[in-house]
Amino acid sequence: MADIIQLLPDHVANQIAAGEVVQRPASVVKELLENAIDAGASTIKLIIKDAGKTLIQVIDDGKGMSITDARLSFERHATSKIRNAEDLFQLHTKGFRGEALASIAAIAHVELKTKQERDDVGTAIVIEGSNVASQDVVVTPKGTSVSVKNLFYNIPARRNFLKSNAVELRHIIDEFHRVALAHCDISFALYNNGSEAFNLPVSNYRQRIVNIFGNKTNEKLVPVEEDTEVLKISGFVGKPEYAKKTRGEQYFFVNNRFIKSAYLNHAIASAFDGLLKSGTHASYFLNLTVDPQTIDINIHPTKTEIKFDDEHTLYALLRSAVKHSLGQFNIAPVLDFERDSSLDTPYNLSDKQTNVPTIEIDRSFNPFKDDAEPVKTKSYSSGNTFKKEPATNWESLYVGLESKSNDAVETDFSEVHFESEETTGSIFEDGKEVEKTNTTYQLHNKYIVSTIKSGMLLIDQHRAHQRILYEDFLKNMTIKEAMSQQLLFPLQLHFSVQEIQILQQLKEDLEHTGFVFSNVLEESVEITGVPVSVPESEVSIILEQLISDVENEVPDAHFSATDLLAKSMAKSLAIKTGQSLQKDEQEHLVNKLFACKEPNVTPTNKTTFITMSVDELDKKFI
């Protein structure tokens, strides 16, 4: 049989390689920004049209390229950054694989203009699908400009696979942030569809963070500094009370390179142990500096994952550095004692006639004894010093009170809202007489059990309610006649510039659900009305969740803002697992569920109920 193996032509090989490097417009942005930084630029401009689908351009004032280099830069494995394998362990540049420009040129129309300082004129090269279309001498300032047009023009499958502009732009902005955060000594600007989205002058790290995430961020930052032989840590963590529902603001940089590391993330999370509300995530902006010899950046083509020689030590150092900062800046005690106590007391003590709680006094406690962990003390009127319980046990302080509570206190106590467990919109808004169903029973505050003709029905209360709310919201948004409840005082909510952009896109749909925006500013919104089913206290959580859902776009759904909004609100507002329901509430839930168009799954396709026939039950008793 004849030989059948052939070497692939270069342009095909490049296209295949491109698949690894360039997944979406944001990947191009990353590579071009990194090249500009490697070229020693002090000012970098990023210009985007149609979320990068039409144009991505990066202009820098770096060292530029000679004519030969300009031409060579598009060859695969052509790099000025390493010469041999050993160099891989001494990397001080972002790039080193020499494949970015070659890959990009294989799947887009690329124009390069570049000039070195000492030259009078520069070089312009146009490349289309790996082929050089033209090469000219041009007058151009020192530095390099690379324009990437019509990305994936020759791979329609890839192009069609791109997400909506909102999502792709989001990814681009993320990359831009990552690069800009790692290099505050460089000024960056981002222009999106002709208007300036970010202008970040050279500044210190704190200022750079504030310039990106908004003025409100400043007060949220706690500095972290640690200098050891193996690792230098500098940067900030967000105060626990500002922790977000989303993981958006979590940044690790290792030697000025953004990296993702679930392991190190865990180190931070554990430093925050006991300080965060469940379901929230601390923000962090941390720069780690390590000897380049102790890391391997090569394991991932997009270079966002790296391998550390000694992960365990890094983990321990990071955790203790963050813990130390939180302690030093008095963050930890804020949660229980340092704040105005009326804010933290789970009922309105000041207004109540209550018995003074009995306080156990630890007479052997010596405040001057050097305990391993310094213990915060607070003296009470009697002058006795009382030893603080560990933070996790703070409720125990009120135990004495609770057991002696009179009715008034009891009522108030029941009003305490613990995070998401609080009661959300009642499922009985319409107040109609509920059609009598068979008896229902709530199991573990999670499932509703009921009988049906053929046997038994088991409903997941949280999921079922999601389905009900989802269909309600969708209906309201489509007929545009949602009921709104006017707020007594307008609600002022703060967001980052990007979050506001997302809200802007959803504003109209949100209004159809009953939200009333009286003012949308650069970094905040003012809300004067909310949907009837939405408690005021939940508004910010719902909007945050919504923004995060849009950013991460539920993968199975084709992007539709309305649908996403309905899903997101349903998820946020649905009664939670753990909530006990009255008989009539249970029955109403069952009835509403089966009045839905698709009662058997949640909006994200999870099973809402199961049935078990008498036959099946019988078999279990054989």
Residues 74-93 that bind ligand ADP (CB under 6 A): 78-81
Decide which of Mg ion, ligand ADP, none touches 471; Cβ closer than 5 to 8 Å per partner kind: none
When the beta carbons of 100 and 542 are compared against Mg ion, the nearer one is 100
| 97 near ligand ADP, rule: CB under 6 A | yes
When the beta carbons of 66 and 451 are compared against ligand ADP, the nearer one is 66
Q: Where are the beta strands (DSSP E) in 425-465?
A: 440-443, 447-452, 455-460
Using alpha carbons only, what angle is made at residue 414 by residues 412 and 420, rounded to the nearest 5 degrees? 125
What b/e sequence results for 60-75 when a residue is b if at least 16 CB atoms lie within 10 Å of its CB, and e otherwise? bbbbbbebeebbebbb
When the beta carbons of 101 and 569 are compared against ligand ADP, the nearer one is 101
| 95 near ligand ADP, rule: CB under 6 A | yes
- State phi, psi for 90 to the nearest 5 degrees: -130, 35
Query: Do strands 187-192 and 43-49 pair parallel, antiparallel, or not at all (unpaired)?
Result: parallel
Selected binder of ligand ADP within 55, 65, 271, 448 (CB under 6 A): 65
* Closest residue to Mg ion: CB criterion: 95
| 98 near ligand ADP, rule: CB under 6 A | yes
When the beta carbons of 35 and 424 are compared against ligand ADP, the nearer one is 35
* Residue entry with tokens 């090569």: 298
| 142 near ligand ADP, rule: CB under 6 A | no
When the beta carbons of 45 and 208 are compared against ligand ADP, the nearer one is 45
Nearest Cα to Cα of residue 293 among 90, 93, 92: 90
| 144 near ligand ADP, rule: CB under 6 A | yes
| 37 near ligand ADP, rule: CB under 6 A | no
- With beta carbons less than 8 A apart as the criterion, state whether 135 and 127 touch: no
**Total number of residues that touch ligand ADP (CB under 6 A):** 24
Q: Minimal distance in Å, beta carbon 368 to ligand ADP?
A: 60
- With beta carbons less than 8 A apart as the criterion, state whether 58 and 44 touch: yes
* Closest residue to ligand ADP: CB criterion: 95
Distance CA 47, CA 228 (A): 40
- With beta carbons less than 8 A apart as the criterion, state whether 108 and 14 touch: no
**Phi-psi region at 371: left, alpha or beta (left = phi > 0; alpha = psi -120 to 50):** beta
Residues 487-506 that bind ligand ADP (CB under 6 A): none
Distance CA 226, CA 320 (A): 9
| 593 near ligand ADP, rule: CB under 6 A | no
Decide which of ligand ADP, Mg ion, none touches 97; Cβ closer than 5 to 8 Å per partner kind: ligand ADP
When the beta carbons of 33 and 525 are compared against Mg ion, the nearer one is 33
DSSP state of 397: G
Decide which of ligand ADP, Mg ion, none touches 164; Cβ closer than 5 to 8 Å per partner kind: none
Q: Minimal distance in Å, beta carbon 375 to ligand ADP?
A: 54
**Phi-psi region at 330: left, alpha or beta (left = phi > 0; alpha = psi -120 to 50):** left
DSSP state of 617: H
When the beta carbons of 79 and 513 are compared against ligand ADP, the nearer one is 79
Nearest Cα to Cα of residue 139 among 161, 113, 158, 117: 113
Decide which of Mg ion, ligand ADP, none touches 425; Cβ closer than 5 to 8 Å per partner kind: none
When the beta carbons of 35 and 280 are compared against ligand ADP, the nearer one is 35
DSSP 3-state of 616: helix
Q: Minimal distance in Å, beta carbon 94 to Mg ion?
A: 6
When the beta carbons of 79 and 545 are compared against ligand ADP, the nearer one is 79
Cα 550 from chain centroid? 11
**Token output for 594:** 């089966």
Nearest Cα to Cα of residue 280 among 322, 242, 337: 242
When the beta carbons of 66 and 505 are compared against ligand ADP, the nearer one is 66
When the beta carbons of 100 and 243 are compared against Mg ion, the nearer one is 100
Q: Minimal distance in Å, beta carbon 131 to ligand ADP?
A: 17
| 579 near ligand ADP, rule: CB under 6 A | no
- With beta carbons less than 8 A apart as the criterion, state whether 398 and 344 touch: no
| 60 near ligand ADP, rule: CB under 6 A | yes
Distance CA 413, CA 146 (A): 63
- With beta carbons less than 8 A apart as the criterion, state whether 344 and 350 touch: no
- Which residue ranges make up the site for Mg ion (CB under 5 A)? 35, 95, 100
DSSP state of 329: T
| 306 near ligand ADP, rule: CB under 6 A | no
Selected binder of ligand ADP within 35, 57, 130, 287 (CB under 6 A): 35
What does the per-residue mask of binding to ligand ADP show for 101-130, with x meaning CB under 6 A? xx----------------------------
Which residues of the shown chain bind ligand ADP in the complex (CB under 6 A)? Answer: 31, 35-36, 38-39, 60, 62-65, 73, 78-81, 95-102, 144
